[in-house]
Amino acid sequence: MITVYGIPNCDTVKKARTWLADRGLEVVFHDFKKQGVPAELLPAWLQTFGRDKLINRTGTTWRKLDDAAKAAVIDDASAISLMRMLPSVIKRPVVRWPDGRWTLGFSAHEFEKSA
């Protein structure tokens, strides 16, 4: 089973979900806005991707933060706190593949290798 974590109106999430649907792959979608961020998975995501990749520092949510809030993200604990408070700051989608691997963002090439 493939699990896609993200926000439904995110363009990148839409592209990923369309790519998967076009190939007839069975997918479970975890909506950060409705279901929240799965706090128990954040440590694994941080270990897999690192803070600098998992937090989308080019996105609108990050850019709207004041300088003090940005400067406060200094370790994994502060990153987890921010991601739980503002799920839109997480780069999307986060995908769990049937073999247990994780990918971040959408790349047709990476999805092809994983699917």
How confident is the model over 21-33, as pLDDT tens digits? Answer: 999 999 999 999 9
* Burial group, residue 39, by CB count within 10 angstroms (0-12, 13-18, 19+): exposed
Kindly report, residue by residue over 47-99, the tens digit of the pLDDT: 999 999 999 999 999 999 999 999 999 999 999 999 999 999 999 999 999 99
According to DSSP, the β-strands at 2-6 and 94-96 are antiparallel
70 is catalytic: no
The two tokens of residue 12 are 């990148």
Strand partners, 95: 4, 103
Cβ(34)–Cβ(9) below 8 Å: no
d(CA 94, CA 9): 15
Tokens of 8: 């439904």
Say if CB 29 and CB 4 are below 8 A apart: yes
pTM above 0.75, yes or no: yes
Q: Which domains does the chain have, with CATH numbers?
A: 2-114 (3.40.30.10)
Catalytic residue (one of 4, 6, 10, 94):
10
